[in-house]
Each structure stands twice: as C-alpha cells, then as structure tokens.
A and B are shown apart, each in its own frame.
Chain A
Amino acid sequence: MIRRRLALVGAVLLVGACVERLTAPGQCPDYCPSGQITVVDTLLTTSINRDSSYRGYVLAYQAALMLAANLPGATDTLDGRPIFRINGYGARFRISTVDTSTGPILGADSARLQLYVVRRDTATHNLRLQLYRLPITIDTSTTFGAVAAPFTDSPLRTVNIDTLLAQPGRKDSVTGDSAVVDTVNHRVVLSLKLDTAAARYIATDSGTVAYGIRIAADTLASIAFGKDAFGPSLQWYLRVDSLGTPVARTPGALGARLASFVFAPPPAPLDSTLAVGGVPSARSLLRVAFPKVIRDSGQIIRATLFLVPAVAARGAPADSFVIEARSVFADFGAKSPIDLRLGDTTVIHVGATDTVKIEVTNLLQAWAADSTHPTILVLRPEREAQVFGEIRFYPSLAAAFRPTLQVTFVRRFPFGVP
C-alpha cells in the first residue's frame, strides 16, 4: 500500500517536473536573439495593368430577387418594377377527389396573392404598393418599355404597407389583406385579397395571369421581393361546373413560373472605367504583376487594393452594396472561372466618391503560396443583380488615379544565425 502511494506521488511529481515554462519577456537587445522580424511596406503603383470590364453576368430574370424602386434623381428617376407570371390550372378542373371526372372552370370567386418583401428600409415611410395586370406574354426578354402601357392602366390593387402593418393583428378587415413580419429574417409576407374583378380566371388563357408591381413612398422607395421558394404565389378560389351546377373548389396555391423585374434608366454603356455592379451585373478584371521579391522572400501580412471612383457610386441611396475581390483559376478574359475559395470584400455607399480600399491579403497570400495561380483580381458585386448599385473606378490608363496595391510583408527571419 505504501509502495503504491509512493509510486503515485512519484508519478505526480514526475509529470509536474516535465512541465516546461521557458517564455520570458525579452530585454532587447542584450537578451534577445540577434535576428529580428523585419517588416517592409511597399506601394505597388504600376503593378496593375491590362484591366477591363465586362457586363452581363447575371440578368434581371436570373437574379435571386425582384427589385422595386421609385427614386427620383437629379436627371432621371430610377424606376424598378417587378413582373411575374403565374400559370393556371387550364380550362377544366376535377370535380371530385374520388374520381377523375372534370368540369369546366367557370371563373374565380376571388384569389389571394402572397408576396415576400425580403429587403426594405425601415426609414421608408408611407410605402405603397400598386398591383397591375400585365399581358401573359411577358418573358425573360421583356423590357421596361414593352410593359410601360399596362403600367399606365388603373392598378388592380393599391396597398399601403405601413398602414397594413399598423393594423391590429396586421389585418385589414375591409380589404382582407394581411401581413406577417418575420422578426428573425426581417421578411414581410403580404397576403393580398383579389376580388372577382381583379382575379379574373380566363379559361382560354388556361388561367394564366401576369402582374406587375410599382411602389411609391415619401422617400427612399426601394424594396426587394423574393423569388422561387419566397416568390409570389396565387391561391385561387374557383367555380367549377358540375353537371350544370356551379361548385366551389380551392386548389393548391401556384407559384410564379416567371419572376423578373424591369427598370429604367438602363445602365450606362461600359467605357474605359472599371465598372462593378448594376443590372445586368458588371465585373472588372485587374491583372497584377506580382513582384518576385515579395512572392519568394516574404510573408505577406497585409495587402490593400486602392481604387479611385471615377464617378459617384450609383444606385438606391439606402442600398449600400458589397463588392468583392476574388482570384481566378485561369485567365480567359470575361469568362475567367472565379476561384471561390478566397475573397475579400468592402462596402460601397451610394453617392460616395471616397477612395475604396479592399483588403486582399488572403488573395495575395494564396498567390505567394502557389506560383502557378494567375495573379488576377476580379471585382464583382457580392450579390450580383440584387441591387441597382454600380460603381466605376479609374483604370490603369489613368496614371494619376490608377488602381494601386499596398503590400506589407515580412522578410525571411534569419534563422540559424547566432
């Protein structure tokens, strides 16, 4: 027993004795190693060349959101209008659930349209939404001008979202509209009741309907509607002929087969500047002559890309947007495949003309680690075609304002030297 206890005490002492503690404050230079960490900061003013811009990566109908805006500017008004088409059930509908007999659809008593507002500025007041009927021929190529006329007709419905949200239970007992606010995702789900006149079920069109939305507000009228899982859906309340007797049927809700948006004015054509953002989205490529002295002999601890805006960033004032710098796997110009593993971002505020700084440390470290990696930076919006915002930077041709890289790196530590 005593031997066991002694062995245990011995083992504890042995483990305790093996704990090393060698860290001591350095008293330099007398009691520090002769080698020191040497930091070098350099500004690469001429290393970015052969830069260019391309547009058309994500079109409006490919965007994840439908943008709505009504923002008067100094020269024109930014007007964005969501458009969507919902296909119907056809000319006939099943009478019973126990057999396959169908009857002609006589029409609709009413319908309920559900819309997700996925982005809005809470500073916007008196936000109003107007619903218009559009031709069912709208498609992905529909332009702002092509549907300008239907938007001049009387709206099917007008909803004041602020008023609706202020109602008890967020329900309007007069119109039948309601709203649900998702406090986690900050989404507002609008459920709009369409009466018989607004919800026309035209059997010859197979029940297909198309709608467009315009918004207005006292200020900052810019919101975004969801698509796909959070896109528009229509719940029909139909009347079906059953051997001469009209019967009511409530089929399942239908989602939008086409969801897009049109807007005016169109983006300015690309010029020699480096455009990033907008709809359709634009990207810029910057080719970097990465100095060997940095690649081979140092560890990059910070790299900053400086870009001087050629004009103030455009877009909805409330919708600051994020642009990101990424690298590419290979240089195929506009079609260069983007390396999504690493990226650096910065926020662009609409109207600002300050020099934009993007920390690209991760990217340059990757270049230093892999000498086969193309040294090309791609600038693009983080969420392409999900905001109207666009910024244009001076290109490398503009000597005084060209893009520059500031690189801070550490030289190789002189290991092994006494």
Chain B
Amino acid sequence: MTHRTGWIIALLLVGPALTGGAMAAAQDSQFGIRGLGTPGRWESVRSRSTGGAFGPFDPLSPLMEASLADVGQLTATAAGGTSNRDVLVRGTATSLRATRFPLMGVAGPVARRLAVSVGFTTYLDKSWDVTLRDSFMLRGVLQRYTDEITSDGSVADIRLAAASRLTRRIALGAGLHVLAGSTRMTAERQFDDSTFHRVQQSADARYDGLGVSGSVLIGLAPGLTIAGWARSDNRLRAKVADTTSAVTDLPLMAGGGVLFAPSPSARLGASVAWRSWSKAGAGAFDTWTWSAGAEFGSRRMPIRLGARGGQMPFGPGTEAPTEVAGSLGTGRAFAQGRALIDLGLERLERRGGGLTERVWTVLVGITVRP
C-alpha cells in the first residue's frame, strides 16, 4: 500500500467527524447536567490505561501536538468504551450504562521534519436523561406529573495538528481546534390527570467554537523527557433554530508531564493539568488534575497501570467535585506491528455535592499502521 493510499483510507476513517457526521462522546456524568457537559478525556486507550500519565507523550492522544513528531509512520487509531455507572444521591441509587467512541484520528509524517494529524475527540459530552416526579397546584387542584428532560449529543474537538522535531532533544507542535457538535434535546411532561395533554417539546441545539494549542517536548537526558502544553478556546456558542441561545466562555488550559524510561521494558510517567473552567459561569470551577502511570514489558504486549485524580469543572455548591481513578490495561501487536489492539479497564469514583458516581469502564483501542 502506498503512502498516499494510506492517507486516503485514514482520512475516510475520520472524514465523518470533519463533516460533523460523527458523534463522539466520552464518559457521561451527572455533574455535567447543570453545566456545559462532561469534559472529554483526550487520551488513547494506551494513555488512559496509565491513568492519563502518558498522554503528553503519546502521539495518538490528542492532548499534545509535539509528540506527533515521533509518530514515524502513517498511523490511524480509534477507541471505544462502555461504562457502567452507579449514581448515588440522597439515598437513591441508579445504574446507568453508555457506550461511546471518544477518539478517532490519523497521523503521519509529511516531510522529513514535519508530521501532521487530523482527528476528533470529545470536548464535552452532553448526553443525559433526567426524570422528575413532582406536583403543583393547577386550576385549583394538586396535579401530579412526571417530567423527562433529555439531551443526546456532544461537542467534538476536531483537531488539525502539526509537529516538528527541531533537534534530537526538542520537538514543537501546534494545533487548530474546531469545536462542533449538536444535541437533540427533549422536554416532556406527563400529568397523572389525562385531561392535561402530554407536554412534548424538542429542539436541536448546535454548538461551535474555535481553539488553538501549542506544546513542546524536551529530552533532558536519555530516557528522560518532559512535556509542556497550553491551549486556548474562545467560546462555545449554542444555536437553536438558527438563533443563538447561549455563548459561554471556554477555559484556558495548561499542563505538563514527565516520562522516564529506565530500561526498554519499563516506562514511568506523570502529568498534571490546569483548566480555568470557572470562566464558564456560575457553578463552574477551575480544575487541577494529576496522573501517574507505568508501562512494563515489550511493546508487543505490555502491561499498563495508572492512577489519576483531580477536580470536576461543574457541580453544585462552592467546591468543585473531585474524582479519583485507577486503571490497568494491556495491548497486543499483530502483523509485525502494523495493527495493535489495546484494552483497558478503569474504575472511577466522583464525589461532590451529596452525589457519588462509581464507574467501571472497559476500553478498546485499535491502531493501524498501513
């Protein structure tokens, strides 16, 4: 297969995202209902299995661009995950389940010192379904009703990125981000008294925004690399029926990481990130997140594990909800390394405002190097 043919196939894989025809989504959370949504995780299955610690150094994770400089050959990747989520709030427990495809992308070198990538990931997941049982006085009678308000969709981050290794020690990268997505929203009310007709309203909300990012990788010593990145998005504009219904400022973000490979069969990493989500308005908080992880064994079939923690950007009250997670995973290379399957398992717990979420997530990633 020629280099050009490989690019065509890879672009066909991510084409739907570029035209807005794909729906990407990450892990839902009840904390995102009141806010803009649940921010996505810009990590491949490999990075996520290490708690996200390898994200800044993984060319297939759309967190940083500079790592693309080491992609070496044309590579396409996609990830999917199924989450089983238990939500406990005020003595009520609910089990939820969702399957998402949060990542798809293609990357490859286009010149001796230049690699590019195009793909999408989830910026905000906005899928939820809330039912509510209540009553109020109407026409002099206490009327009981059941509300169901749903949102189904997400905002995708479509990224065009380029990176160059300037020297053996330094690589730089930059990216342009187009935020696009839509949600199908419905609001229904069913009165117990059937003389009141069912309330049924729906609308499609479309979202758009723009962002830029930059990153750097610096090799301090053999086997020791540090990374830094920053990103700025302008605003998220919501339109319903071609009328702007909301404009929300989006956060500045910055982060960094360190990767230490003491031997070819052991890699240790850690990363940290800050996001100024409080710009999004009331009920939003700036967040810090951290992660640490390791990968052992050959690249043909490694073992990965990691942990992460930090804050969620949206929640009730005056303090940001927190989350902590542990993960492990592995991978398997086939066809002389031209195809890879990554598997991951994550256990996550979020707490805040009287709500606790416990999530099991099974992740599957496929990477092809044609």
Contacts and interface: CB of A to CB of B under 8 A. Distances in A.
A415 B245 CA distance: 8
Contact of A418 (B36, B130, B315, B317): B36
A292 interface: no
Given A20-B97, A22-B96, A416-B239, A31 B199 contact: no
B201 A412 contact: yes
Contact of B196 (A24, A30, A35, A301): A301
Contact of A302 (B31, B195, B245): B195
Interface in A257-312: 299-302
A17 interface: yes
Contacts of B33: 31-33
B355 interface: yes
Given A413-B201, A416-B239, A31 B316 contact: yes
Given A37-B147, A302-B197, A408-B138, A413 B131 contact: no
B353 A30 contact: yes
B30 A31 contact: yes
Contacts of A26: 130-132, 147, 149
A158 to B, nearest CB: 49
Interface stretch (B86-94, B257-265, B327-335): B86-94
Nearest to B362: A17
Given A21-B95, A24-B128, A359 B199 contact: no
A376 B196 CA distance: 22
B138 A41 contact: yes
Given A18-B99, A33-B151, A27 B205 contact: no
B98 interface: yes
Nearest to B80: A17
Contacts of B94: 24-25
Contacts of B90: 27
Interface string B179-200: 0000001010101000111111
A22 B353 CA distance: 20
A34 B239 CA distance: 17
Given A23-B129, A31-B34, A301-B197, A417 B151 contact: no
> How big is chain A's contact interface, by range?
35 or more
A406 interface: yes
A398 interface: no
Contacts of B151: 33
Contact of B316 (A17, A30, A41, A408): A30
A55 B130 CA distance: 54
Nearest to A300: B197
A32 B90 CA distance: 14
Contacts of B245: 414-417
Contact of A415 (B82, B87, B240): B240
Given A26-B131, A408-B139, A17 B99 contact: yes
A404 interface: no
Kindly name the residue among A30, A33, A34 whose own CB sees the greatest number of chain B CB atoms within 10 A.
A30
B218 to A, nearest CB: 38
A27 B99 contact: no
B136 to A, nearest CB: 8
A104 B127 CA distance: 91
A203 interface: no
B367 to A, nearest CB: 19
A28 B132 CA distance: 8
Interface string B109-145: 0000000000000000001111111001011000000
A18 B35 CA distance: 26
Given A34-B34, A418-B246, A22 B127 contact: yes
A205 to B, nearest CB: 59
A41 B30 CA distance: 32
Given A26-B130, A37-B187, A416 B238 contact: yes
A8 interface: no
A33 B149 contact: yes
Contacts of B136: 39
Contacts of B73: none
B246 A416 contact: yes
Contacts of A300: 197
A21 B205 contact: no
Contacts of A33: 33-34, 130, 149, 151
A52 interface: no
B148 interface: yes
Interface in B283-340: 315-317
A27 B139 contact: no
B203 interface: yes
Contacts of A32: 33-34, 130, 132, 149
A28 B87 CA distance: 15
A136 interface: no
B349 to A, nearest CB: 17
A365 interface: yes
A365 B281 CA distance: 38
Contacts of B82: 17
Interface in A361-418: 361, 365, 406, 408, 410, 412-418
A280 to B, nearest CB: 33
Contacts of A408: 138-139, 196
B157 to A, nearest CB: 18
A23 B245 CA distance: 25
Contacts of A30: 34, 315-317, 353-355
A355 B33 CA distance: 47
Nearest to A361: B197
Contacts of A18: 99
B342 interface: no
A101 B2 CA distance: 104
A10 to B, nearest CB: 11
A417 B355 CA distance: 23
23 contacts: A17-B99, A18-B99, A19-B99, A20-B97, A20-B99, A22-B128, A25-B94, A25-B132, A25-B133, A27-B89, A27-B90, A27-B354, A29-B34, A30-B354, A31-B31, A32-B149, A33-B130, A299-B201, A410-B201, A416-B205, A416-B238, A418-B34, A418-B280
Interface of A: 17-35, 37, 39, 41, 299-302, 359, 361, 365, 406, 408, 410, 412-418
Given A32-B130, A361-B197, A410-B199, 13 more contacts: A20-B97, A24-B30, A24-B87, A24-B131, A26-B132, A26-B147, A37-B187, A41-B138, A302-B195, A413-B201, A413-B203, A417-B246, A418-B248
A-B complex: 5 closest residue pairs judged by Cβ atoms: A416-B245, A30-B316, A416-B205, A26-B132, A415-B203
